[in-house]
Amino acid sequence: MHARVKLIESVLGELSKIISGRTLATGVIFPSASVELVEGLYNDNAISDFYNGCVAQVVEGYLKAHVKSASGKKIRILEVGAGTGGTSSMVFPKLEPYKQHIQDYTFTDVSKAFLINAERKFEGTCHNINLEIFDIEKSPSDQGFLSNDYDIVIASNVIHATQNIRKALRNIKEVMNKHAVLILNEITGSSLFNHLCFGLLDGWWKSEDKAFREPHCPALSGNNWKSVLKNEGFSRVAVSSGSSQKFGQQIILAESNGLIVSTLKDYAPLLPSVKHTHCSKQPFQASETNCHHQYLEDEVESIIVSCLVESLKVDQRDIDSDDTFSEYGVDSIIGVGLIQKINDKLKIELESTTLFDHHSVRQLKQHIVDNFQPCLVFADESKATANYDEDTVSIQVDKYSQRPSSFRGETKNTHCDDSATSKDISNSTPVIAGSIAIIGMSGRFPGANTVDELWNLIAAGEISVQQTSRWNADTRASEESSFTGGFIRQATEATQHCAT
């Protein structure tokens, strides 16, 4: 009861912000990506322990029967939506006497936050435990899971939180062997507590198959579980009796027939994946302001990456600034903790919803620099100008390698004979490649004697191609030549101007 009171107090205290969209519900229920508030609902809780104990007893019974069969095959167990590990905690002790008959136990969830918690919680307590991301609403094969691979699948309070029950069951069944057992621990209906807490999460309302669900909540009745499971190729479906459902939970058992139901997929054109290449040598003016700005960007990006590495327990070398956060497993729970870490290190106040609008390291970095620059202060800011010297800011101009060297940022004094002036030029800021200033323009063109006349000609959509009048076309009729062209008026005068 204490765990429920603590959670509901936290939620009610932030309810107005959640409903108005100023705060994410996941940020309140999972503060700093911690599972502490919800862990008490599923661990060391009399009601949860009872139903999780029922799941553990079924697993134990299966293992006993398997040992008696003397088949010699090692059992593979998969838990989907394992969450805080409440069910796992009850199952693991039951596995100990049979560990020589178990190949592995795969603990999965859609959120990496739960995997990080499980790694800490179950270290050394379970034989051959694997921790994997698995989304039961997506194809198992696309996530690296093999077909017909598991003998026991456990799912506690997870399948109801999907868009389509049949699709979720189909995906789970794909990884199950023939005669593999599915053990479900599921809610029976709505309650005020569930509605106030978990009803604030997207998963509570995402169902598309309302006909199977109980009113105003995503739960299924026992009869509907039977119907759906049988339609998806499960046999020997059993649901716990009504008296055992009085605390809002039910246990459902089913056996797979081993058949995999395939559906047609939409195949997008197989285009190569193209990533934006980030070049560290970006062309910009080598002013102190720009160097300072570049320094801020680099420092902010470095901090975002370090927070991402810390949150996800991944190698920094695997982080690409243009990959989306979701590609690394950042979900709404991990995201809350990530934003808090960034806020703590940069001393700023990003909203927890920021990751919805800025999906990659590069986008988030730009958002922070653009909106919080006055707040960004780093201890070693002297590097801002020291690190960005002439070589750092010079542009890569391989494709212009045939141009004179002055196009590549080199300064030359060979055209100036005055020694004092030469000295001034040599000590001035070097020309930065790609930096061209147009200070004036003049010219004469076909049909236009000035730049303004040329612009008016172009704007009007007129052309200055005309029949030639410079020679007698009749005398050149035998030649394969065009006698139209664009000609500068008073060409002789123009030539004289050019010569002076």
Q: What is the rounded distance in angstroms from the CA atom of residue 392 to the CA atom of residue 283? A: 9
Domains of the chain: 2-256 (3.40.50.150), 288-386 (1.10.1200.10), 397-427 (no CATH)
**Closest-CA residue to 356 (of 38, 114, 22, 111):** 22
- The span from the CA of 494 to the CA of 88, in Å, is 91
Residue 484 pairs with which residues in a beta bridge? 467
Cα gap 208→415, rounded to integer Å? 77
- Give the CA count within 13 Å in the CB-facing half-sphere of 329: 24
Whole-number Å distance between alpha carbons of 277 and 309: 21
* Alpha carbons 63 and 40: distance in angstroms, whole number: 29
Backbone φ and ψ of 419, nearest 5°: -65, -40
| Residues facing residue 154 across a β-bridge | 79, 183
What would the pLDDT profile of 461-485 be if each residue is shown by its tens digit?
Answer: 777 777 665 555 555 444 445 567 7
The answer to whether the CB of 303 falls within 8 A of the CB of 345 is: yes
Q: Is the four-CA dihedral 184, 189, 193, 199 of positive or negative sign?
A: positive
Nearest-Å Rg of the Cα atoms of the chain is 35
Tell me the pairing of strands 465-467 and 484-486: antiparallel
Query: 410 vs 83, 290, 407, 423, 426, CA distance in Å?
Result: 61, 20, 7, 15, 10
Contact 352, 23 (CB under 8 A): yes
CA quadruple 30, 33, 38, 39: dihedral, nearest 10: -170
DSSP, residue by residue, 56-95: HHHHHHHHHHHHHHT--PPEEEEEES-TTSHHHHHHHHHH
Tell me which amino acid residue 495 is. Answer: T
pLDDT at residue 85 in the model: 94
Instruction: State the number of CA atoms in the 13 A half-sphere of 385 facing the CB.
Output: 4
Six-digit token string for 445: 């063109």
Rounded Cα gap, residues 450 and 288, in angstroms: 40
Please give the span between the terminal C-alpha atoms of the chain, in angstroms, as a whole number: 99
> Which has the closest alpha carbon to 157: 124, 192, 187?
187
Contact in structure between 12 and 53 (CB atoms under 8 Å): no
CA dihedral 104, 108, 113, 119 (to 10 degrees): -10
What pLDDT sits at residue 89?
A: 94
For 77, phi and psi rounded to 5 degrees?
-120, 135
Report the pLDDT value the prediction gives residue 468, as an integer from 0 to 100: 67
Question: In the prediction, which pLDDT does 359 show?
Answer: 87
Residues of the chain with pLDDT under 50: 263-287, 381-433, 476-480, 494-500
Q: Are 164 and 209 in contact (CB under 8 A)?
A: yes
